[in-house]
Amino acid sequence: MSATIKFVQGNAACAEAAIYAGCGFFAGYPITPSTEIAELLAGMLPENGGKFIQMEDEIASMCAIIGGSLAGSKTMTATSGPGFSLMQEALGYAVIAEVPCVVASVMRGGPATGLPTKVAQADVMQARWGTHGDHAIIAMTASNIQDVFDVTVEAFNMAELYRTPVVLLFDEIVGHMREKLVIPSKGERDVVERLRTSVPLGKDYHAYLPREDGRLPMSDYGAGHRFHVTGLFHDIHGFPSENPEVVKNTLHRLIDKIEGKRTRLARWKEYFLDDAEIVLISYGSSARSALEYVTTCRAEGIRKVGLLELQTIWPFPVELIREKVASANAVLVVEMNMGQLLPNVKSAMHNPERAFLANRIDGMLITPADIDTFVRVVDGRGM
């Protein structure tokens, strides 16, 4: 079967990718600007042997996909800022219980109701630190429709590989703009399937005992193995434990399996970085304007500007940032918030005083002209 070509919006590309990746269950609640993901999957999942449920709220939605995953399905929900806030406690449950699932947050302006129909990149820190306690998380983003498809499939793959929730941080413009999408034929793109235990029924199954490669084989609820799932720290059978050694080792493993693989998990695109004197770091729809700006600068010979577009935001790719900006005179972080990613960029640099914010926070897309204004100010400092 050959690839399928469609002209779709970003939210539709996310839904198509979920089906391609093998999603079998979606539970969600409508919220602008992510509603189209739920609306489309309400039709697509039953057509592909899956199930869709509209829940009473976002708390229930997150809990439902955790249950669906434990029962054996690849699962997903979609929301935006306020709904994402409601999901945070259950997101932490999925982290400690090591339940693979995907959460798409199509970002808008906040706090509170904020700007429900306008663009912002306001959930970056909520994705990282919204749930309480020490933990690690994977969060990915994209700037065009084809990449939305690709990173969504990646998100499902990473969720299964590392038995963890994975967050997709798209934004309103990416979610609602329309572009060409090429959906690869089945088998053309790798899809990671659920790793199920080979322990025979009646034998001792350790639900939280990693293999040598770090992966945790799962058994579906009802499959016959005895194990426990809890939000408490737990032993290898899943039963609660306050043993200091168990707690310490479990927490280290939960964090190390993600933070310890920052380089392996990093996804990015780069443009004109080889000789760039000014490096722009951006993501999502902001990166589209940043790319237009650097392309124009290079074509017209105005200044040596390059772009590093991040697709993996968490775990933050420290080593990648440090390498790519090492020879730059200045770094501008282009994002539509008050600088949520900027401190992390600074912390990765040997010369953090050379990093600056280029932002817009009024619900409108940051433009190449906006970026040029910030670059001219930084250029004027003689960096």
CB 172 within 8 A of CB 112: no
Report the chain's mean pLDDT, rounded to a whole number: 96
* The predicted structure's pLDDT at residue 382: 54
> How many other CB atoms sit within 10 Å of the CB of residue 229?
18
Contact 183, 16 (CB under 8 A): yes
Contact 74, 20 (CB under 8 A): no
Give me the phi and psi of 143, to 5 degrees please: -115, -10
| pLDDT tens profile 61-78 | 999 999 999 999 999 999
Work out the end-to-end distance of the chain between its first and last CA atoms, rounded to an integer number of angstroms: 54
- What confidence tier does 380 reach under pLDDT thresholds 50, 70, 90? confident
Q: What is the amino acid identity at position 73?
A: S
What lies within 8 Å, CB to CB, of 174 at 6+ separation is 10, 106, 142, 143, 144, 145, 148, 284, 285
pLDDT in tens, 315-345: 999 999 999 999 999 999 999 999 999 999 9
Per-residue confidence at 2, pLDDT binned at 50, 70, 90?
A: confident
182 bridge partner residues: 5
Tell me how far apart the alpha carbons of residues 358 and 163 are, in angstroms, rounded to a whole number: 36
Which residue reads 């640099």 in tokens? 349
Predicted confidence (pLDDT) at residue 275 exceeds the cutoff of 60: yes
pLDDT digits (tens, 9 = 90+) for 235-266: 999 999 999 999 999 999 999 999 999 999 99
| Residue 131: Cβ within 10 Å count | 20
Instruction: Please count the other Cβ atoms lying within 10 Å of the Cβ belonging to residue 267.
Output: 19
Domains and CATH numbers, the chain: 4-183 (3.40.50.970), 268-380 (3.40.50.920)
> How far is Cα 49 from Cα 54, in angstroms, rounded to an integer?
17
User: How do residues 84-121 score in pLDDT, each as one tens digit?
Assistant: 999 999 999 999 999 999 999 999 999 999 999 999 99
Given the structure tokens 């990746």, which residue do they identify? 21
Please provide residue 10's backbone torsions phi and psi, each rounded to the nearest 5 degrees. Answer: -60, -40
Tokens 């992390």 belong to: 344
